[in-house]
Structure 1
Amino acid sequence: MTSVALFNNKGGVGKTTLTYHLAHMLRRLGLRVLAVDLDPQANLTAMCLDEYEIEELWENPSELIAQGAAPRRPAGGGRVRAGQTIADAVRPILEGTGDIARVEPAALQPGLWLLPGSLDLSRFEDKLSSEWFKTFAGDIAAIRTTTAFHRIVDAAADAVEADIVLIDVGPNLGAINRAALIAADTVLMPLAADLFSLKGLSNLGPTLREWRRDWQQLVLPRIPAGFPAPRADMRPIGYVIMQPEMRLDRPVKAYERWLERIPGVYAAAVLGGRPPAAEDGAHRIATLRNYRSLMPLSHDARKPMFDLKPADGALGSTQKYVQTCFREFRGLAEAVLDRVDKS
């Protein structure tokens, strides 16, 4: 089993959308996939589940259902039950009553599972932050706290016999994301073709190297033998350019100068090496277009853009766009698997 964290500390680049579609496409390619929502905004969970399932999972009345904008629970129930989010799993640590609680992944489709997130996960931030430096001294309680995500994800992946785990994390360099990334074998970075993504890369790369160094040099040697701790490899496998406007299958000119700068910033900041020539795209895995009207149709149908049918509103020429979307995400999934294998 290999884990991939999708991360950029600049928000709004389409990270959760990429995680959702990549998970579904990897399943289409025959892998057993576990998607993990470690973003306290829990947007991946909201994309994967129906509104009545979210209502039950979080034990909160849905405003969309109350307003008639989403259907009420059909006969037969949903795929989740209350108390089965990652926030529920870490609650005993947060409240000082014990270690992690076991949670059951939700089966979305044959071969695809979700470890749901929750808005309550944000409460774990201060606990993770205060325990971080205690791990340097080998404090076992602090180590249990910091490795909680790793152990929760590992247990869930073992339970469903996952081939690959995709971890969706929030857009910041806080303590929750540090614990999430320490649990990841590899890191895939979604980027937009703009100044803010370049600034995000400049901050992200050195921070990942610092976290990796601190964990491997200061913490791992102090962890008791047999304790299930991650190695914090966090190997960068490349980046995906998200949602540039396309003309004749190429990004329009307004984005070109930013696209030309990304390879150099990625190599220097993330890989810690000498910047390559601007045209060197060796670390770019794919460029995904803006699919415009497919996204709201996808949200309404609760299915990936590349699975939309005429009954979902994908009519006429839109169906050709759906086919293009399928080809591009299939190519992306195959490229990600190749990078993961090589890493």
Structure 2
Amino acid sequence: MTATSIALFNNKGGVGKTTLAYHLAHMMQRLGRNVLAVDLDPQANLTSMCLDEDSIEALWSPATEAEYLRGQGMLVPDALSGGKTIADAVKPILEGTGDVALIEPISLKSGLWLLPGSLDLSRFEDKLSSEWAKSFSGDPAAIRTTTAFHRVVEHAADVVDADIVLIDVGPNLGAINRAALLAADTVLTPLAADLFSLKGLSNLGPSLRVWQRNWRQLVLPQVPAGISAPKADMVPLGYVIMQPEMRLDRPVKAYERWLQRIPGIYASAVLGASDTNGKSHHVATLRNYRSLMPLAHDARKPMFDLKAGDGALGSTQKYVQTCHKEFRDLAEDLLKRAADR
């Protein structure tokens, strides 16, 4: 069974995209899916949520440094030694020494894996940018570069027999995100109900359509045999509104104003349509769980898994239960939308 990939993307940062990706990965695993989480954001925020600092230090260090860390008494699993990140996978292409070095994902728990990111991935931006136009003429080296993410993710998904691949990308329209999104079957857009998110939304759709058209018309027909290339489906799954710090049932007027504008802007900018034909692309509105985030960070677990021993006492435990229900409903809805695409 081929995995379905969902990229979480908005051109505007700071809307809780990585937090959403992390919690969806855990909830979808809870629902019985084999989930592969992929960190294609050069800031590596998803990786920092999934792994502790010692593990990340070992992951980003050469094997000899990992051995040194062990000598200092740090617990460094063999799977994290010697660099096994997305940046390491594309390093041979970046340095001109070969094709992608396919890597194994890290097991976080039964049914949940991570393809970790690295700050070093930012070095791949210029390479992807310069090779983009060359791929239009069928240049094999350029096509190997532009399909690198797709092939690394495809390999990892096959290794773990993933049902769902969740791809976290950065908040920009650069070359790294272009390559990441071209490799995605579907795109989910987290956003806040404000001017900046809606401006990002208006830039997102036209860019995706241009990338898709160029890829399908100019590149796909020329991909050499033996190189796996994405279809650039990028089907819009809809949008998730991330609540600011206010009561969910009493939004301020400014917030309500932007809420009313989201469906129309999403339809015109992302779907390229004047209306949505009666279909709602509003997947969910998630309330602000900022009071749970510090507890979840300290406990190194999702907010909806917090227990009394983690500090979730009294009314906070009821809030945890609400959080669990909202993420479960969202995950089930997304799985259905992805299956029906």
Given the two structures, how large is their TM-score scaled by the length of structure 2? 0.93
Question: Does residue 1:129 correspond to 2:106, yes or no?
Answer: no
Is the Cα contact below 8 Å between 2:39 and 2:46 reproduced in 1? yes
- Paired residue type of 2:289: Y
The CA deviation at 1:245 is: 3.9
How many residue pairs get matched?
Answer: 330
CA change 1:246–1:143 in 2 (3 A) is same
The CA deviation at 1:229 is: 0.6
- Paired residue type of 1:153: V
The CA deviation at 1:75 is: 5.2
Question: Does residue 1:218 correspond to 2:205, yes or no?
Answer: no
Q: How many angstroms apart in 2 are the aligned matches of 1:252 and 1:8?
A: 23
Is the Cα contact below 8 Å between 1:42 and 1:117 reproduced in 2? yes
Q: How many angstroms apart in 2 are the aligned matches of 1:179 and 1:11?
A: 19
95-104 or 245-254, larger mean C-alpha shift: 245-254
- Paired residue type of 1:287: T
Q: How many angstroms apart in 2 are the aligned matches of 1:155 and 1:18?
A: 24
Match of 1:312 in 2: 310
Q: How many angstroms apart in 1 are the aligned matches of 2:324 and 2:203?
A: 33
Alignment counterpart, residue 54 of structure 1, candidates 53, 56, 64: 56
RMSD of equivalent CA atoms: 1.8
Match of 2:244 in 1: 244
Match of 2:66 in 1: none
Match of 1:333 in 2: 331
The CA deviation at 1:292 is: 1.9
- Paired residue type of 2:136: F
Match of 2:229 in 1: 229
Q: How many angstroms apart in 2 are the aligned matches of 1:180 and 1:154?
A: 12
Q: How many angstroms apart in 2 are the aligned matches of 1:98 and 1:77?
A: 28
Q: How many angstroms apart in 2 are the aligned matches of 1:341 and 1:254?
A: 36
Match of 1:63 in 2: none
Alignment counterpart, residue 47 of structure 2, candidates 25, 45, 49: 45
Match of 2:300 in 1: 302
Is the Cα contact below 8 Å between 1:53 and 1:78 reproduced in 2? no
Q: For residues 157-215 of structure 1, give each alpha carbon's deviation from its aligned partner in whole angstroms, at most 9, with x where no partner exists.
A: 00000001000000000000000001100000001010001100111100000000000
- Paired residue type of 1:32: N
CA change 1:77–1:83 in 2 (3 A) is closer
| Secondary structure of 2:240's aligned partner | strand
Match of 1:35 in 2: 37
| Secondary structure of 1:56's aligned partner | helix
Q: How many angstroms apart in 2 are the aligned matches of 1:251 and 1:286?
A: 16
Q: How many angstroms apart in 2 are the aligned matches of 1:175 and 1:118?
A: 16
Match of 1:288 in 2: 286
CA change 1:26–1:250 in 2 (3 A) is farther
Match of 2:69 in 1: none
267-276 or 45-54, larger mean C-alpha shift: 267-276
Question: Which segments of 5 or more consecutive residues in structure 1 lack a partner in the other structure?
Answer: 61-71
- Paired residue type of 2:125: E
CA change 1:326–1:251 in 2 (3 A) is farther
CA change 1:104–1:303 in 2 (3 A) is same
Is the Cα contact below 8 Å between 2:41 and 2:169 reproduced in 1? yes
Q: How many angstroms apart in 2 are the aligned matches of 1:114 and 1:73?
A: 25
Q: How many angstroms apart in 2 are the aligned matches of 1:308 and 1:253?
A: 34
- Paired residue type of 2:106: A
CA change 1:170–1:73 in 2 (3 A) is farther
Show the 5 A alignment for 1:113-124: 113-124=113-124
- Paired residue type of 2:270: V
- Paired residue type of 2:166: L
Question: Does residue 1:168 correspond to 2:168, yes or no?
Answer: yes
Question: Does residue 1:260 correspond to 2:268, yes or no?
Answer: no
CA change 1:110–1:243 in 2 (3 A) is same
- Paired residue type of 1:285: V
Q: How many angstroms apart in 2 are the aligned matches of 1:74 and 1:290?
A: 36
CA change 1:21–1:218 in 2 (3 A) is same
| Secondary structure of 2:172's aligned partner | coil
Question: Does residue 1:21 correspond to 2:23, yes or no?
Answer: yes
Q: How many angstroms apart in 2 are the aligned matches of 1:130 and 1:203?
A: 22
Match of 2:157 in 1: 157
Is the Cα contact below 8 Å between 2:39 and 2:117 reproduced in 1? yes
The CA deviation at 1:224 is: 2.2
Q: For residues 117-159 of structure 1, give each alpha carbon's deviation from its aligned partner in whole angstroms, at most 9, with x where no partner exists.
A: 0000000000000000000000000000000000000000000
Is the Cα contact below 8 Å between 2:58 and 2:76 reproduced in 1? no
Is the Cα contact below 8 Å between 2:15 and 2:192 reproduced in 1? yes
The CA deviation at 1:55 is: 1.2
Q: How many angstroms apart in 2 are the aligned matches of 1:49 and 1:74?
A: 14
Show the 5 A alignment for 1:35-114: 35-59=37-61, 77=77, 80-114=80-114
Q: How many angstroms apart in 2 are the aligned matches of 1:185 and 1:226?
A: 21
